[in-house]
Amino acid sequence: MRVLTRLAAITAATATALSVAVAAPATAATELVVNGTFSTSTAPWWNSSNTSMAVDTGRLRVNVTGGTANPWDAMVAQNNINLTSGKAYTLSFDAVASASVSAVTTVQLADSPYTNTLTKTIALTTTSKRFSFPFTSSLSTAAGQVSFQLGKNAAHTVHLDNVSLTETTSGSGSGPINMTSGFYVDPNSNPAVWARNNSGDSRAARIQSSIGSKPMARWFGSWSGDIASAVSGFVGAADSADKLPILVAYNIPGRDACGGHSGGGAGTEAAYKTWISAFASGIGNRPAVVVIEPDSLGDFDCMSESARQERIRMLTYATEQFRDKAANTWAYLDAGNAGWTAPATMASRLQSVGVANVRGFSVNVSNYYTTSQSTTYANAINSALGGTAKFVIDTSRNGNGSNGEWCNPAGRKLGATTQVGGGAEMLLWVKVPGDSDGNCGIAPNVPAGTFSPDIAVRLIDGT
């Protein structure tokens, strides 16, 4: 796993391809754990009595004896961890057990008095899960220890992998991100899959070249299955390629209240909170860009007061989860588009849901307003916020601007993805080009979120 330094600059390699560059080589954040991937050996990890350990298919397998009285009676650990009091760190790891058991992970002094600066009780199951725990050290020592305490359970086996302890900057959106080699190209995006499965179609090569081979966001919702695993798998693939993934969280109850074509979402407030917490945990300490719930603040005008208050609670909780569980994620609350909500009103809504907890906000998601119009709108919002937020713009379909229609309008075109002035941090393809807005416009029989090669070719040609 790579934890990468701050994004320095964005330049365009082509009119439609995202390319990220830095002015000078970036310095990766220092990894404090040695051999957290267990690729060939267990050293320098050690195990206590009541356990045995070995490398098993690139993971650490720990066999735990049952019947012990305390969690620390059966443990694996690594010593000689350097910590500085007052500095922020994140401990993260993957873990799975042969049965549902409770365990304790700590960052502490290796010797008496074993002072803890982080102690977390974790629930392990037969499904692998990514855990990530930001904390501020209360210790200054070269004799720190990362431990996994597995006792006080029946006999079981635990597999650990990708154990990482790095110094971070607390708060989602202020952690380090670097991409010297660009954004992640999703090989399983809707246009890429369509082109791969329809190679004999005369449109396939053009769609793959102009759309499927470009970086764009992966949208996650109820269709994603186990959300922590789905997110972790996507972010992990990007991290392995040393590229920056773009994700969209799209599962809030009452979704698309004004448009109606993309309705759905988690069934209850409690279900959504569970889902978004798992989403953030799935990213953990790895770098990512996340757009939080497109349309969710613009939809306020189509919702009852009680529904608005419920949504405020859910979005606030979402920003807190990304802040606390995904320190190296740049998260952006969606702020609608230039033709929807007045900037001062949108700024007030952003403040009410904790925009200060994340990096900033996004504009023009799934819409068509030009980059210039979107920048003007976003700058007005940011001015009302006191100039404290960053913003990104969705340029996936704004090459010909807006004709006033939002649902599969004709004559739209793929947008450019070069960095612009006026405060815009990144231009991103957030909406997947070729995915329908709903049963409307030039695709009256294509449901929302479904890929249409006809829409895709129209966006390539601008027709």
Gap between the Cα atoms of 432 and 366, Å rounded = 8
Place of tokens 């702020």: 335
d(CA 382, CA 171): 19
Secondary structure in 3-state letters for 60-80? EEEEECCCCCCHHHCEEEEEE
Integer Cα distance of 262 and 266 in angstroms: 13
CB 243 within 8 Å of CB 179: yes
Q: In the prediction, which pLDDT does 175 show?
A: 54
Q: Which stretches of the chain drop beneath a pLDDT of 50?
A: 1-28, 169-171, 179, 421
Query: Would you say 423 and 392 are in contact if contact means Cβ atoms under 8 Å apart?
Result: no
Which segments of the chain belong to CATH 3.20.20.40?
A: 9-28+176-461
Sole residue written with tokens 């609608």: 336
Reported as a single tens digit per residue, the pLDDT across 190-213 is 999 999 999 999 999 999 999 999
Distance CA 234, CA 220 (A): 10
Residue spans in the chain of domains classed CATH 2.60.120.260: 46-168
Q: Which residues on neighbouring strands pair with residue 149, listed in sequence order? A: 75, 104
Contacts of 147 (CB under 8 A, 6+ apart): 72, 75, 76, 77, 78, 104, 105, 106, 107, 108
CB-facing half-sphere around the CA of 340: CA atoms within 13 A: 29
What's the confidence (pLDDT) of residue 177? 59
SS3 label, residue 313: helix
> Is there a cis peptide before residue 113, judged by omega within 30 degrees of 0?
yes
- 246 with 194: CB under 8 angstroms? no
Which position among 295, 299, 435, 437 bears the catalytic label? 295
Q: Calculate the alpha carbon distances from 397 to 233, 248, 432 in Å.
A: 28, 17, 9
* C-alpha span between 36 and 24 (Å, rounded): 28
How far is residue 131's CA from residue 189's CA, in Å, rounded to a whole number?
Answer: 27
Q: CA torsion sign, 215 to 317 to 315 to 345?
A: negative
Q: Give me the pLDDT at residue 420, please.
A: 55
Strand arrangement of the beta sheet that strand 59-64 belongs to: 51-56, 59-64, 156-168, 88-97, 129-136
Tell me which CATH code domain 9-28+176-461 carries: 3.20.20.40
In sequence order, which ranges of 214-362 are alpha helices (DSSP H)?
227-240, 269-283, 305-325, 343-352
Active site includes 295?
A: yes
At residue 172, the pLDDT reads 52
CATH superfamily, domain 46-168, is Galactose-binding domain-like (2.60.120.260)
Contacts 24+ apart (CB under 8 A), 340-344: 340/298, 341/297, 341/298, 341/300, 341/301, 343/377, 343/380, 343/381, 343/383, 343/384, 344/380, 344/384
Question: How many CA atoms lie less than 13 Å away from 244 in the CB half-sphere?
Answer: 27
| Count of beta carbons in the 10 Å neighbourhood of residue 112 | 6
